[in-house]
Homo-oligomer: A and B are copies of this chain.
């Protein structure tokens, strides 16, 4: 398999170098034919599959010319495969709801509580609702197996996602369902389910980077004691745009956000539960950096703080704009943040600072291994 990837990398670069067409991505966007560039799409079926096909659809924002010329340093090669053009989202402006929920050991209460929060967010205008990481039970290695659900089986085997499906269909809202512990065979995952307005599971992200850290006297947690890491990045096309998904510790890995940006994401959602040590140190910093570096929206959703819990969450759910600016945030108590997203700002910021055209593909290249394999 690896040798196949390697040869793909090889042939891809070689093709890029020789193909004037590929060069034209950045130099002459108005000359592009709609069918020439792959755009990532996720499987609509409720399979939980993440990145399953490359559909050859290509859409552009207005191709008004920038006063700044593209460089001659093969910026398109800085991503391998080259970044896809930003797709036109189904909606440009909409409201997002971030539900920073209290979580108790009572699973049924947590499910009903989350349902009410989603309903409230939708009442306040949210077309996209995001829940926290691990919202149906306590965050601990002891609890994961107890609260885990068989998402693929669904129904009674997964009351948490059954609720998400029901409410998303009933209220016609897109839900990034935070995360719950997932049982699949003899393995457990930390999994985020994304439901469309039709109540169907559009994608499922299993946390890729497990939270194994050790800051003596402050915080030590080894998630890999009980959980298995996911195997794929997740980008999903929804009624409110193309969304990349990461769970908590995934945010520390800038490469993941870079991959999502190159796949055309408008927004990255990170359900997450940073703690009282890493929260003040890094939570806002990482969100703002991912947004500013990749010139897209970033939304995070944490559980509310419970100082009596075994793991004390930092809170501070936040929405960040494509200039890295904090658009809405909160402290650590339970809260529902309603804030507006305006995707036209992505294009504006990328015109202001044309980073994508200024990258040095002759010096560095970020390879999206999975996308390369799929081509």
Contact = CB atoms under 8 A, between A and B. Distances in A.
Nearest to A277: B352
16 contacts: A2-B16, A6-B13, A9-B9, A213-B352, A215-B353, A252-B353, A254-B254, A255-B364, A255-B366, A259-B363, A259-B364, A281-B325, A285-B285, A285-B288, A288-B289, A365-B366
Interface of A: 2-3, 5-7, 9-14, 16-17, 66-69, 71, 73, 78, 80, 208-210, 212-215, 220, 222, 224, 229, 231-233, 252-256, 258-259, 281-282, 285-286, 288-289, 292-293, 323-325, 351-355, 358-360, 362-370
Contact of A13 (B2, B78, B288, B325): B2
Nearest to A358: B209
A232 to B, nearest CB: 7
Contacts of A288: 285, 289
Nearest to A288: B285
Contact of A10 (B7, B231, B285): B7
A318 B284 CA distance: 19
Nearest to A218: B352
B2 A9 contact: no
Contacts of A66: 214
A282 B69 CA distance: 23
Contacts of A224: 69, 71
Contacts of A364: 255-256, 258-259, 366-369
Given A9-B10, A10-B10, A282 B68 contact: no
Contact of A286 (B7, B209, B281, B292): B292
Contacts of A370: 363
A3 to B, nearest CB: 5
Contact of A214 (B231, B351, B362): B351
Contacts of A360: 208-209, 253, 255
A13 B5 contact: yes
Given A3-B17, A13-B9, A285-B292, A232 B363 contact: yes
Given A9-B6, A78-B255, A363-B369, A212 B355 contact: no
A348 to B, nearest CB: 9
A215 B67 CA distance: 11
A254 B220 CA distance: 28
A67 B292 CA distance: 34
A285 B281 contact: no
Nearest to A362: B369
Nearest to A351: B214
B281 A323 contact: yes
Contacts of A14: 2-3, 6
Contacts of A212: 68-69, 354, 358
Contact of A324 (B231, B281, B355): B281
A14 B354 CA distance: 35
Contact of A355 (B253, B323, B362, B363): B253
A370 B368 CA distance: 20
A10 B14 CA distance: 11
Contacts of A229: 71, 73
